[in-house]
Amino acid sequence: MTDGEPTVTVGDHEVHGVGLDAETRCTHYASERDVVAIRFGCCDTYYPCFRCHAAVADHDATPIPEAEFDDPGVLCGVCGTALTVRSYLECDHECPACGAAFNPGCVAHHDRYFDRG
């Protein structure tokens, strides 16, 4: 494993974090399927995970409010498509644009990223 990068650009989107690879894996989540980055409500910036946000940002993380679930919020690190939060939540762990497999274990952390009210 290499040290990775503090920022990568995927599609038109810049992703910040710790130890990133070209498909937005990070130091904390680096399996084959850990290829999404999530936009944080606080700073409108994509990070691969909440631990990256905690390490790099200078403020507390705020999840995306439900009112913005139809806006782009989840970036596929494989094809660079920014999915809406809703399409990500309904995609059954597979990118609707390119078919890449997403880590189903992320569901356990959704409350940190998506505020369902």
Backbone angles phi, psi at 79, to 5 degrees: -110, -10
CB of 7 to Zn ion, least distance (A): 13
CB of 48 to Zn ion, least distance (A): 5
List C-alpha distances in Å: 20 to 31, 70, 109: 12, 27, 20
Q: Count of H helices and E strands in the chain?
A: 3, 8
Residue pair 20/30 in contact by the 8 Å Cβ criterion: no
- DSSP letter at 93? S
CB of 10 to Zn ion, least distance (A): 10
Site for Zn ion, rule CB under 5 A = 26, 28, 40, 42-43, 48-49, 51-52, 57, 76, 78-79, 95, 97-98, 100
Task: Find where tokens 């597979």 sit.
Answer: 94
CB of 55 to Zn ion, least distance (A): 7
| Rounded Cα distance, 82 and 95, in Å | 10
Choice between 56 and 69, CB closer to Zn ion: 56
